[in-house]
Amino acid sequence: MTDTQITIEQQIEADLRQAMRDRNDVAKIALRAVKTSLTEARKAGADHALSAEQILTTIQREVKRRRDSAEEYTKLGATDKADAELAEVAVLEKYLPQQLSEAEIEIIVREVIAETGATSARELGKVMAATMPRVQGVADGKAVNQVARRLLTA
């Protein structure tokens, strides 16, 4: 176990206790869901311990799940449910590293396009495969895909 892992999990636990004291239902629901996901991930692992990277990946998965749900609720016109999902996203994002801006993503994608020699949208897969390891944990794959698609079709 690393200090980072202990810190993140301890922070989640402390924040959950505080949310319960404050009767903050949004934070309570989001943090309980993350704790459950971390427990499931820990049980699935051979050594029952999670690295800091695995913890961040689990939190990112929970954030993505909520963003996707909010998008679907918005499409269905259930803005109150979409807002609730986005409120949970806001609670969870504080445990993640600062995300790259679209301009920062564009710089990285342009570098990858130059390195791979990609010239058309048909080579999007090659660009994405080379870009994602560079932005792991600090950029959403959907945002990277949109930037790469835009640059390759321009």
Q: Taking Cα atoms as reference points, which of 71, 139, 76, 27 lies closest to residue 148?
A: 139
Q: Residue 6: its pLDDT value, please?
A: 57
Nearest-angstrom CA–CA distance, 45 and 49 = 7
Q: Residue 48: its pLDDT value, please?
A: 72
Mean pLDDT by 10 residues, the chain (154 residues): 64 94 95 93 77 86 93 95 95 90 92 90 91 87 90 85
Mean per-residue pLDDT of the chain: 89
Q: Residue 53: its pLDDT value, please?
A: 81
Complete domains list, the chain, with CATH? 3-93 (1.10.1510.10), 102-153 (1.10.10.410)
